[in-house]
């Protein structure tokens, strides 16, 4: 069996089995709302930190800050144990996105994208407008 699959399975097991997931009922919301949005954001030509920020902002708004943190930590755990690139700066970008959503209760995913790309600008691109309504 591929090591990457094993690592992802273990990380998701931790995510699903955590007491936080049970208390906040975060697992379905984060997975149903966060993962499809993350896939669409990942295709955008913006900085990696802007992607982290945007996804966490959206998940916080749609679900909760706990959902966003659990999803972000799970993703970094997968990166840490697998072939990905785990970085402290990713967690910081996650937290910035969470705080953006908490400070703006009426935020939309488009607003999350705009605020995060302004905070983490790409050195070679102007603001990227993309359809993230998938």
Q: What is the DSSP letter of 25?
A: T
With tokens 């007491």, the residue in question is: 19
- Average pLDDT by consecutive 10-residue portion of the chain (134 residues)? 57 57 63 89 95 97 90 85 85 97 97 97 63 44
Output the pTM of the full model: 0.78
For residue 104 the two structure tokens come to 């703006």
Give pairs for 128-131: CB < 8 Å, separation 24+. 128/44, 128/45, 128/46, 130/40, 130/44
For the chain, the structural domain boundaries read 3-119
Q: Is the dihedral of CA 24, 73, 50, 81 positive or negative?
A: negative
């Amino acid at each position: 069996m591929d090591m990457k699959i094993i690592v992802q399975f273990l990380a998701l097991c931790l995510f699903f089995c955590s007491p936080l997931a049970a208390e906040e009922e975060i697992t379905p919301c984060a997975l149903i709302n966060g993962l499809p949005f993350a896939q669409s954001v990942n295709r955008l030509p913006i900085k990696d930190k802007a992607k982290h920020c945007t996804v966490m902002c959206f998940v916080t708004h749609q679900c909760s800050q706990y959902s966003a943190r659990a999803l972000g930590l799970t993703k970094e755990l997968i990166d840490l144990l697998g072939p990905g690139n785990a970085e402290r700066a990713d967690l910081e970008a996650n937290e910035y996105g969470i705080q953006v959503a908490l400070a703006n209760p009426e935020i939309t995913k488009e607003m999350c994208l705009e605020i995060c790309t302004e905070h983490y600008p790409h050195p070679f691109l102007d603001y990227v407008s993309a359809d993230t309504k998938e």
